[in-house]
């Protein structure tokens, strides 16, 4: 593997170590565009009391802010661990097309960071999931908002 790839991965790993030392989880990530790091993130879940403050999410937010866009299609992300379902979803939404990672989700599970219950939940029909409040409440007003959105001439599609 190219030295540049290894440098980016090493930075993600350095961030994971720093995160752990500062009271966060042992995860780090960097977003790279055109061979340059444009954003970094560490796991701040316990530091910020924010369950969404994973390293990849933090790095994506910072990259979007710095680049002034929600579309990171020209970027790659390097993560110290295989992204969890939430982070993978954010990676898809941001249009990042390549993910490099060091530790696997099995490695994370071995240190008590397991996402298997979430993966299992996704494979079940909604009626069999543990979040029982996933109940549709149809609304004409909610439908109207969607109808107005699709007709809105100045909408920004994403």
Residue 82 among the catalytic residues = no
* List of residues 6+ apart from 77 with CB closer than 8 A: 29, 30, 31, 32, 56, 59, 60, 83, 91, 96, 98, 99, 100
* List of residues 6+ apart from 9 with CB closer than 8 A: 78, 80, 100, 102
Please provide the size of the chain in residues: 158
Q: Percent helix, strand, coil in the chain (nearest 5)?
A: 45, 15, 35
Return the DSSP state at 100.
E
Active-site entry in 56, 62, 76, 121 = 56
The residues assigned a catalytic role are 56
């Amino acid at each position: 593997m190219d030295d540049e790839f290894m440098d980016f991965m090493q930075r993600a790993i350095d961030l994971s170590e720093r995160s752990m030392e500062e009271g966060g989880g042992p995860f780090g990530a960097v977003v790279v565009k055109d061979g340059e790091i444009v954003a970094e993130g560490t796991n701040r879940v316990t530091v910020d009391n924010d369950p969404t403050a994973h390293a990849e999410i933090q790095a994506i937010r910072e990259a979007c802010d710095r680049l002034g866009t929600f579309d990171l299609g020209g970027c790659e992300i390097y993560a110290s661990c295989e992204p969890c379902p939430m982070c993978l979803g954010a990676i898809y939404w941001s249009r990042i097309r390549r993910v490099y990672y060091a530790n696997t989700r099995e490695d994370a599970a071995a240190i008590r960071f397991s996402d298997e219950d979430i993966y299992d939940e996704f494979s079940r029909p909604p009626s069999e999931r543990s979040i029982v409040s996933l109940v549709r409440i149809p609304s004409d007003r909610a439908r109207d908002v969607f109808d107005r959105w699709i007709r809105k001439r100045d909408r920004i599609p994403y």
